[in-house]
Chains A and B, each alone.
Chain A
Amino acid sequence: MTDFKQMLAAHNISRRSFLKYCSALGAMMAVPATMTPRIAAALESDNRPPVIWMEFQSCTGDTESLLRANRPSVGELILDHLSLDYHETIMAAAGDQAEASKHATMEKFKGQYICIVEGSIPAGAGGVYCTIAGQTAVDIMKKVGGDAGVIIAVGSCSSYGGLPAAYPNPTGAVGVSDLLPGKTVINLPGCPMNVDNLTGTIVHYLTFGSPPAMDRFGRPKFAYGKRIHDNCERRGHFDAGQYVENWGDHGHREGWCLYKMGCKGPASFHNCPTLRWNEGLSWPVMAGHGCVGCSEPGFFDTMMPMYQRLPNVPGFGVEASALKIGGAIVGASAAVFATHGAVTMTRNWKQVKEAKTETRELTKETSDAEE
């Protein structure tokens, strides 16, 4: 505790602004203000929890997202809040020394350490599509994940398979929860994940000793509980029927609704509109490009083509139909996901193609009806 106070002093951070930060964090995690002291206590603990961060079929985008962290910054996360014992992109050691460090943490903190996973795991062909130190990602994930206190999947690939699992899923890529059924996995999908949601999740875990409440896809409700469309700053234009028709047209420059340009906001659950990116500076819709639905199970195949607008059913008002369609798509993904798992769903290209054809037809009908 004393060390932490010294650290705050070294950073010129007053107790008051530290508590203010804790309360903002609490607000983001949607916990009552009375919890602020508990969050502060968790952050002040000098028992920095050990973290093993695994990278498999990743592009390292989630790690780059980690490097954009602010309050606490990545420097503070590494030096003051976590003991990042294994992280291939950041750590000084490698190979045997890295493995040794990982194994020491796994042994000493069995059942306690935080396991963070970036990238999907290729389960095809006996796991040969990703090996580290001659071992398959499948074997490594089972061992490291099996003994973890909590597993956090960062990004869409480790959550649900993501890009590598897109049709035809050449390597049999799966997300962590597919590989470790029955194990609690906190999914923080997004392409990449927004680091503020990772910070929020870790602080929640440290503060309350349990994962945050999650939806049926394993996503924390504090971050994925609201539909993008419902919190979108351009919602007023949608309700008023003001749409961007062409890139760079008057409506586009004035910030009108991107629904007709293929925005998947009505079918996507994520806190992008309120949290935004890079310390609240912007997010895709604010910068004039539609949401692509990157935080949904089955992304990419269920959300592409990117510029194909979501179907709009004739006979309802625009608002009702967009909500209904959003709900229907999410419901459909949920049903398939729950029954067969994300892998089966994304592998089933035929089904996806059929759905796309239906989407196209519906869109065409709608356009015809509008005309």
Chain B
Amino acid sequence: MANKIVVDPVTRIEGHLRIEATIENGVITDAWSSATMFRGVETILKDRDPRDAWYYTQRFCGVCTTVHSLASIRAVENALNIQIPFNAEMIRNIIMGIQNVQDHMIHFYHLHALDWVDVVSALSADPKKTAALQQSISPWKLSSEKYFQGIQNRVGAFVKTGKLGPFTNGYWGHAAMKLPAEANLMAVAHYLEALHIQKEIIKIQAILGSKNPHPQTFLVGGMSIPVDPNSQNAINADKIAQIRQYIAMAKEFVEQVYIPDVLAIAPFYLEWAGIGGGHKNYLSFGDFPEGRSGYPNDFWMPAGVILNGDLTNVMPVDQQKISEYVTHSWYEYSGGDGVGKHPYEGETNWKYTGPKPPYDFLDTDNKYSWVKSPRYDDKPMEVGPLSRMLVAYASGHKEVTDTVNLVLSKLGVGPEVLFSTLGRTAARAVETLIMVNKMSDWLDLLVANMKTGDYAIHNNEKWDPSSWPVNARGYGFHEAPRGALGHWVVIENKNIKNYQAVVPTTWNASPRDPAGVRGQYEESLIGTPIADPQRPLEILRTMHSFDPCMACAVHLYDEGGNPVSKAKIL
């Protein structure tokens, strides 16, 4: 018998996501991914100053709070053929780098960890054994028995109040939770430590970007944070020292806590290296320019396309092969819904045709999401840390290859396990480690350039709109924490004529295309075994591995659509 499961609201993500799935004989046989919130920012951008666009698009997402501003200014710079000063390029790299590190850290500890870690079990751990465990996996300073006793007491006192607040109704005690109590206690301690570390290390963005969330020093043509070693109002030796301190803090935590935790937890869940792969098509736009020739040249992280998990063949990216469909999305295209449109010709004609709220089910045979279906050469793609790491690994990128091989050998597995739920989570950790070690290089490059007396942070040549051509168009790419991001802008008479963004979650969470091919979230759920349909922790693990982390509540229905039971998550 097929049961249809509804997962809504999906919590612990940015935005509003809903999953519907059918389960037969304990295995997922079909799935639908739906975004249930629409704002129309691309429409709001019409007729506005292209130099302002970054501020609007930054607000697509306040979690990965820098990524849309970067893609936007790059798109406008591409349209107007503006090359930015080297200082600005390095400052952007550092801002992107710490965004990546901090975002991945929050994802692992505060959004994803509760799929693998049982908070309540931590109360029965032996603090002495926990200390021994901690000391055996890394030299991290917070490792004493007294420390873990304190954490346990604090959590115990909290639980005793009977008011669990945000921890109410978690998956505590689930049979699929396999960590020993001591590992759970250690992870709970790191949950709290990471809460502190993330707000410290992101101060790099306050120094270079004025504030976080939503740093405010981006400019078309460069950055607005001045650079001058002899001014107290600019990036000087003192501020560079501050940045170094936060990079060191991030590096220490990633090397001594995050990576050892992943290596310690993964062996308990190795079966997840064979689940959740999906289409196995991977796309990376490449990013982090390092050379003098500037963006988009000399990327540190390479661009590429991998199809069907074939690591022997990395193809170059051609942005003209990107198109978006609305066959199953609540939009209409002027030429009919069966054809795809390249973002330059993209349209945002919204029209809701779903069920009238309140509703129980979406009409998944027709349109069922506010997300469009982007396809590359008509194929659904996965984007994100796994795609980046695979493209870099298959391209022979030294740091990535070395680190991936190290992790694989520690776990005693081959690269094929990367096409999976566990692979996604491991790739994110690997990327964090490589990134946190890379950031000092960019800071060094900035300092070296300042030493030459070059304090330029903005290219003023095209700042005045009167210097622009009547018609211009361009695209800006960025490898955001969640994956390949592209903005396309068409400028006419100094104003925005059309603006389209294809964001990482659009790629991963897309509904079906006209050929009925599922999006990557949908496809990666197919075949996932569900031990207890009322507590489908397995669904959560795979969905969370993409980083719109979902902890779900479930309605079970029979095929007639009547509720047969309500899942309990206790």
Q: Please give, as numbers and ranges, the residues of chain A lying within 8 Å of B169 by CB-CB distance.
A: 92-93, 97-98, 100-101
Give which listed residue, A96, A122, A127, A169, contacts B555 with CB less than 8 A: A96
State A70–B203 Cα separation when bound (angstroms): 13
Q: Do most interface residues of chain B lie in helix, strand or loop, or is the interface mixed?
A: loop
Given contacts A91-B166, A286-B210, contact A133 B11 (CB under 8 A): no
Give which listed residue, A10, A73, A125, A139, contacts B352 with CB less than 8 A: A125
Does A111 reach chain B (CB closer than 8 Å)?
A: no
Residue of B nearest to A164 (CB): B39
A85 to chain B, nearest CB (A): 6
Q: Are B211 and A284 in contact (CB under 8 A)?
A: yes
Q: Which B residues are within 8 Å of any A CB, using their own CB?
A: 6-16, 36-41, 43-44, 48-49, 51-52, 55-56, 59-63, 65, 85, 106, 110, 114, 150, 153-154, 157-158, 161, 163, 165-171, 192, 195-196, 198-199, 202-203, 205-214, 216-217, 219, 221-222, 224-228, 231-234, 350, 352, 354, 356-360, 455-458, 460, 463, 550-555, 566-569
Q: Are B357 and A128 in contact (CB under 8 A)?
A: yes
Q: Please give, as numbers and ranges, the residues of chain A lying within 8 Å of B168 by CB-CB distance.
A: 85, 91-93, 97, 101
Does A217 reach chain B (CB closer than 8 Å)?
A: no
Does A296 reach chain B (CB closer than 8 Å)?
A: no
State A283–B216 Cα separation when bound (angstroms): 9
Given contacts A63-B62, A91-B11, A96-B566, contact A163 B41 (CB under 8 A): yes
A159 to chain B, nearest CB (A): 14
Residue of B nearest to A90 (CB): B166
Chain A 158-174 against B: per-residue CB contact (8 Å), 1 yes, 0 no? 00000110111111010
Q: Which A residues are within 8 Å of any B CB, using their own CB?
A: 3, 6-7, 10, 46, 48, 50, 55-65, 67-70, 73-75, 78-79, 82-85, 87-101, 122, 125-136, 139, 163-164, 166-171, 173, 191-192, 246-248, 252-255, 277-279, 281-289, 292, 300, 304-307
Give which listed residue, B44, B170, B566, contacts A93 with CB less than 8 A: B170
State A69–B195 Cα separation when bound (angstroms): 10
Q: Are A130 and B36 in contact (CB under 8 A)?
A: yes
Q: Please give, as numbers and ranges, the residues of chain A lying within 8 Å of B15 by CB-CB distance.
A: 60
Q: Please give, as numbers and ranges, the residues of chain A lying within 8 Å of B114 by CB-CB distance.
A: 92
Q: Are A304 and B52 in contact (CB under 8 A)?
A: yes
Residue of A nearest to B552 (CB): A94
Q: Please give, as numbers and ranges, the residues of chain A lying within 8 Å of B566 by CB-CB distance.
A: 96
Give which listed residue, A84, A92, A126, A253, contacts B551 with CB less than 8 A: A92
B21 to chain A, nearest CB (A): 13
Q: Are B9 and A68 in contact (CB under 8 A)?
A: no
Given contacts A191-B59, A192-B214, contact A130 B38 (CB under 8 A): yes
Q: Are A89 and B13 in contact (CB under 8 A)?
A: yes
State A60–B59 Cα separation when bound (angstroms): 9
State A82–B164 Cα separation when bound (angstroms): 10
State A132–B167 Cα separation when bound (angstroms): 20
Q: Are A247 and B457 in contact (CB under 8 A)?
A: yes
A292 to chain B, nearest CB (A): 7
Q: Are A134 and B352 in contact (CB under 8 A)?
A: no
B19 to chain A, nearest CB (A): 10
Q: Are A277 and B212 in contact (CB under 8 A)?
A: yes
Q: Are A304 and B357 in contact (CB under 8 A)?
A: no
